[in-house]
């Protein structure tokens, strides 16, 4: 068995989504034994060594059963865009609890698909201002981002109380190519995502850690994180697309001010921006 292939099966939630399908295909071709799950059917041919079972993240018993014998859980399931609170709460809050309970029972590592939207109301750095480090305050830009902050805190709790290792991937914008100027800072290529997931599962020890999941973009908003702990280095860059993308702005001052982009403008009702300091008065 190649050194990169885990000795135990890996559970991948959200397997039928865009990122889940990419991970399933690439990891399956690399020889990983995968257990795939999603609330909707898997739309592609199953990779070699993979099984798929349809399940709801809110079904704790189903998640426990699927995780039996697994060494890691790649948790990419749940609501992946901004939605009303009650929609987000089921899969992203109760469902996440079921994933961590399964990990606790199996002594499995959780690799959690967090998001830049957990910190989306931090303003974009200006000029030579310092980049945002991974230990910054949470500033979610909606209910989706709030659920991702909750997910990272769940990982913190399960590491401190139960010793469950977890790697929190603050995904920027993971698409085949950037689609606007903001993604010159936030883009994560599919290939870098796969390399990141492999490194997060295969690292000897991780503890509780947070990684800015973006490619090698000189314009990134983000600074220090824990990538050394897993030995990951992105190999792609959004700079390849600069000429085509740098003029593609939203025209919305709220979107352009904050790191979370369009999510910050959803239901935005303030008369003026909040302070750059997370705890300062206006």
Nearest Cα to Cα of residue 121 among 278, 247, 280: 278
Retrieve residue 182's tokens: 């903001």
Residue with token string 């991974």: 134
pLDDT of residue 127: 86
The residues with which 114 forms a beta bridge, in sequence order, are 170
- Which listed residue (144, 150, 158, 190) is catalytic? 144
pLDDT digit string (tens) for 191-211? Answer: 999 999 999 999 999 999 999
Q: What are phi and psi of 186, to 5 degrees?
A: -110, -10
Identify the pLDDT of residue 1: 41
- Where b means 16+ CB within 10 Å and e means fewer, 87-117 reads ebbebbbebbbbbbbbbbebebbbbbbbbbb
Angle, CA 25 vertex, CA 2 and CA 209 arms, to 5°: 70
Quick check: 124 and 221 in contact, CB under 8 A?
A: yes
CA dist., res. 226 & res. 61, Å (int) = 33
Helix H or strand E segment including 133: none
User: Under a CB-based contact definition with an 8 Å cutoff, are residues 139 and 124 in contact?
Assistant: no
CATH no. for 10-265: 3.40.50.720
Q: What pLDDT, on the 0 to 100 scale, is given for residue 4? A: 82
Residue 150 among the catalytic residues = no
Task: Count CA atoms closer than 13 A to 249's CA, side-chain side.
Answer: 10
**∠ at Cα 112 (107, 113), nearest 5°?**
160
Distance in angstroms (rounded) separating the CA atoms of residues 211 and 92: 20
CA 277 – CA 128 distance, rounded (Å) = 17
> What is this structure's pTM?
0.97
Write down the pLDDT at residue 267.
Answer: 97
10 Å CB burial of residue 142 (0-12, 13-18, 19+) is buried
- Cα(93)–Cα(96) distance, integer angstroms: 5
Nearest to 85 by CA among 154, 147, 153: 147
pLDDT at 281: 85
Residues of the chain with pLDDT under 50: 1
Sheet with 109-115, strands from edge to edge, namely: 50-54, 34-38, 10-13, 72-75, 109-115, 166-171, 208-213
Task: Give pLDDT, residue 2.
Answer: 53
CA distance 108 to 82: 29
């Amino acid at each position: 068995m190649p050194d990169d292939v885990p000795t135990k099966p890996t559970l991948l939630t959200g397997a039928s989504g865009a990122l889940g399908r990419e991970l399933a295909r690439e990891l399956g071709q690399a020889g990983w034994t995968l257990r795939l799950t999603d609330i909707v059917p898997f739309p592609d041919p199953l990779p070699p060594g993979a099984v798929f079972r349809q399940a709801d993240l809110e079904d704790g018993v189903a998640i426990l059963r699927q995780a039996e014998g697994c060494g890691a859980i790649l948790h990419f399931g749940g609501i992946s865009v901004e939605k009303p609170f009650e929609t987000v709460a089921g899969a992203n809050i109760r469902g996440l609890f079921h994933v961590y309970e399964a990990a606790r029972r199996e002594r499995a590592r959780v690799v959690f698909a967090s998001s830049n939207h957990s910190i989306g109301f931090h303003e974009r750095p200006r000029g030579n201002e310092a980049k945002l480090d991974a230990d910054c305050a949470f500033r979610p830009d909606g209910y989706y981002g709030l659920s991702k902050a909750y997910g990272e805190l769940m990982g913190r709790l399960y590491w401190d109380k139960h010793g469950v290792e977890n790697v929190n991937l603050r995904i920027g914008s993971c698409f085949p190519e950037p689609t606007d100027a903001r993604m010159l800072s936030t883009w994560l290529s599919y290939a870098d995502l796969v390399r990141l997931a492999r490194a997060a599962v295969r690292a000897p020890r991780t503890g509780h850690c947070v990684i800015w999941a973006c490619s090698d973009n000189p314009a990134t908003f983000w600074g220090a994180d824990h990538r050394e702990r897993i030995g990951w280095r992105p190999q792609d860059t959004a700079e390849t697309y600069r000429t085509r993308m740098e003029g593609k702005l939203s025209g919305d001052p709220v979107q352009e001010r904050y790191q979370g982009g369009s999510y910050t403008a959803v239901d935005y009702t303030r008369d003026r921006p909040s302070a750059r300091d997370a705890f300062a008065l206006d």
